[in-house]
Amino acid sequence: MKLASVRLVTSDIERLVEFYQRLSGIEAVRLADGFAEMRFVSSTLAISSENLIKLFNVGAATAAANQSAILEFEVEDVDVVFERMKASGATIVMPTTLMPWGNRSLLLRDPDRNLVNIFSRPGR
């Protein structure tokens, strides 16, 4: 089995795609009206308009309702991402912090209030 992607459902796809493009530096691939993918080296982040859910899977997902999942992205330099996202006005939940297990971690909220962890593993 292969985990193909994680999908975020949103009522404002352009705003969410723009956030993740700014965060990652990766251009979204638009596969259909209301659907985009951010193709990372090891996984894909899919972003879907809530309108598509209403068309094909009514009631299956609700935009911006997550309170349990954390999207995690490993980067070389957390401080570079911190400065870029702070300058863009992103909501910073926790500035870059050294965690007890050795990771340097930054917590953000995307425009739909999903929690995003940006981390590096210094010395690895």
Domain limits, CATH 3.30.720.110, in the chain: 69-124
Looking at residue 42, its pLDDT comes to 87
Domain limits, CATH 3.10.180.10, in the chain: 1-59
| Across 10-22, average pLDDT | 96
Looking at residue 58, its pLDDT comes to 78
69-124 is a CATH 3.30.70.20 domain: no
User: Does the pLDDT value for residue 56 go beyond 90?
Assistant: no
pLDDT tens digits along 92-121:
999 999 999 999 999 999 999 999 999 999
* Residue 20: pLDDT band with limits 50, 70, 90: very high
- Superfamily covering domain 1-59: 2,3-Dihydroxybiphenyl 1,2-Dioxygenase, domain 1 (3.10.180.10)
Element (H, E) at 53: helix 50-56
Query: Among candidates 58, 67, 13, 63, which has minimal Cα distance to 38?
Result: 13
Q: Where are the beta strands (DSSP E) in the chain?
A: 5-10, 29-32, 35-39, 44-49, 70-74, 91-98, 104-109, 115-120
* Residue 61: pLDDT band with limits 50, 70, 90: confident
| Across 82-86, average pLDDT | 96
